[in-house]
Chains A and B, each alone.
Chain A
Amino acid sequence: MTRWTRNALRGLMLILLLRGTKPAHAEYMRIHLRVYGLDCGVCARGVSASIGRLAGVEGVKVNLQSGMLDITLARGNRLKLSDLRKRVRENGFRSLEATVTAIGRFSGSGFEVLGSGESYAVGRASQSGASDPVELTFHVR
């Protein structure tokens, strides 16, 4: 094997390694999202199917009585809460408050969901002061 071939193989391996490195992921784990206006099963199916097709969504359950969507997300997903809200809007409905379980870091007075670029003001009592990633359940208005 010539030096040129070895260098070429090393370069190729480096490229493959770099390509295999995962970018930062959002770490939303579960979202309960309240939706206004859902009156029937057909509406529920439309919203459920629309959200269910977003990459990273593992499951969607709709409760028509409470207007609540229960969205379970895969680990390492890149989803944003704003993506979900947009899908709800595209189906002709309005999303309201959410209860979110996510992995993130406290930064300043907020909680930043890892890799999503979305941060939320959470109660001071919830803040442990740690800068390491933590799992937190919080409410979003």
Chain B
Amino acid sequence: MKRLAAALCLSALCLWADGHGPAFGFSTATLGAGDSSAGTAMMWRSGVVMLSPYFSYGITGNVQISISSPFHLNHGEHPVGRFTGLMPGDPEMEVLAAWRFHHSLTGIGTRNESTLYLGTSVSTQLPPRTDGPALRRAPGFYMAAATGHISRRYYVWAGAGYERYASLGVDHPSNSLLGSLVLGWRPAFLNKEDPASDCRFFWETTGEDVAHAWRSAAAPAGAGHHGVPAPLPTANSSGIIVLPNSGGRGVYSGPSLLYTHGNLAFQLGAQIAAWRDPNGIQPAERFRVVAGVSYFFPGRRR
């Protein structure tokens, strides 16, 4: 039933990103003033299946606001950290503002640009955990920056972001640091004029450093959703229990593809773990996939 709902959402929403960027890493493009795009992406990792509808709107030629609300279709295990540079990895509603503060147009089809992202999020679902009851959520805050070179032939983007959750004396999901390097290429035979279809290939490498999550010692005890008894709580002097089997570091790398036709954009990407160092004992997250579709709405200004 959930998968049917996902398929329906995918076909009904038919919408993602601004049609410019990579699937996992950071990019810099923003929409034109009055332009908007909407879409959805299906994401899979470590048994978690997420659907992430989003909407973006260009306020000026360099300022964009986006709202996304990924939610779990299948909880699976509980990986942490952001799924992509511009999309939360947990079920949250996130408002993200982008400001392209540096914009150097250097030639025909060529530009260098840098963008700053600021976002805030609130939890929309509390996924069950195997090491105890679901973590209650505090608001999250996100800051990221990306810089890149864009041309008709090659793309290079590098970026980093940090997401931090307010503690508020309750449970605390993992803060996370994410970095990415994206190399893109449009083969010469695909370098065609609109309205011909456009196709770009990317190789995306992302690295993440995810801190331990913790729960308040005052949280109700309980078992995880697999029936595994919760470990005996050992609160530290601050009254919190650091979850040993949470967080870690990893580097993921893999190809992605962006295909646009008219106002529609389709995206597909996969990454494999090049290096993983999870804290404690956690399910292996060796592979992650994202598939998205989006629709671009040109502005209606007169």
Contacts and interface: CB of A to CB of B under 8 A. Distances in A.
A136 interface: no
B280 interface: no
Contacts of B31: 46
A44 interface: yes
A31 interface: no
24 contacts: A36-B107, A37-B105, A38-B108, A39-B110, A39-B111, A39-B151, A41-B194, A41-B196, A42-B263, A42-B296, A45-B262, A45-B263, A48-B194, A48-B298, A49-B299, A50-B299, A53-B299, A53-B301, A64-B194, A65-B152, A90-B33, A90-B34, A90-B60, A92-B62
B298 A92 contact: no
B260 interface: yes
Interface string A6-46: 00000000000000000000000000001011111111111
Interface string B27-44: 000111111000000000
A61 B35 CA distance: 19
A94 to B, nearest CB: 4
Given A45-B194, A92-B30, A39 B109 contact: yes
Interface in A78-96: 89-94
Nearest to A34: B108
Given A45-B194, A66-B108, A67-B108, A92 B103 contact: yes
Given A49-B299, A53-B302, A63 B60 contact: no
Contacts of B108: 34, 36, 38, 65-67
Interface residues of A, number: 31
Given A36-B108, A37-B105, A42 B265 contact: yes
Nearest to A46: B32
A47 B58 CA distance: 13
Q: Which 8 A-B pairs have the closest CB atoms?
A: A49-B298, A91-B32, A41-B194, A36-B105, A67-B108, A92-B61, A37-B105, A90-B33
Interface of B: 18-20, 30-35, 60-62, 100, 103, 105-111, 150-152, 191, 193-196, 198, 200, 260, 262-263, 265, 296, 298-302
B34 A50 contact: yes
Contacts of B107: 36
A112 to B, nearest CB: 26
Interface of A: 34, 36-50, 53-55, 62-67, 89-94
A34 B109 CA distance: 11
B128 to A, nearest CB: 40
Nearest to B153: A39
A42 B61 contact: no
- For A40, A42, A43, the residue with the greatest tally of chain B CB atoms inside 10 Å of its CB is A42
Given A50-B34, A50-B298, A42 B20 contact: yes
A65 B198 CA distance: 13
B105 A94 contact: yes
Contacts of A90: 32-34, 60-61
- For A34, A36, A44, A54, the residue with the greatest tally of chain B CB atoms inside 10 Å of its CB is A36
A1 B195 CA distance: 64
B89 to A, nearest CB: 26
Contact of B111 (A37, A47, A89, A91): A37
A86 B227 CA distance: 62
A65 B196 CA distance: 13
Nearest to B300: A53
A48 B189 CA distance: 24
A85 to B, nearest CB: 12
A64 B296 contact: no
Contact of B33 (A42, A91, A94): A91
B43 to A, nearest CB: 22
Contact of A45 (B33, B150, B298): B298
A20 B31 CA distance: 41
Given A40-B20, A48-B194, 4 more contacts: A39-B111, A42-B18, A42-B20, A64-B152
A50 B260 CA distance: 19
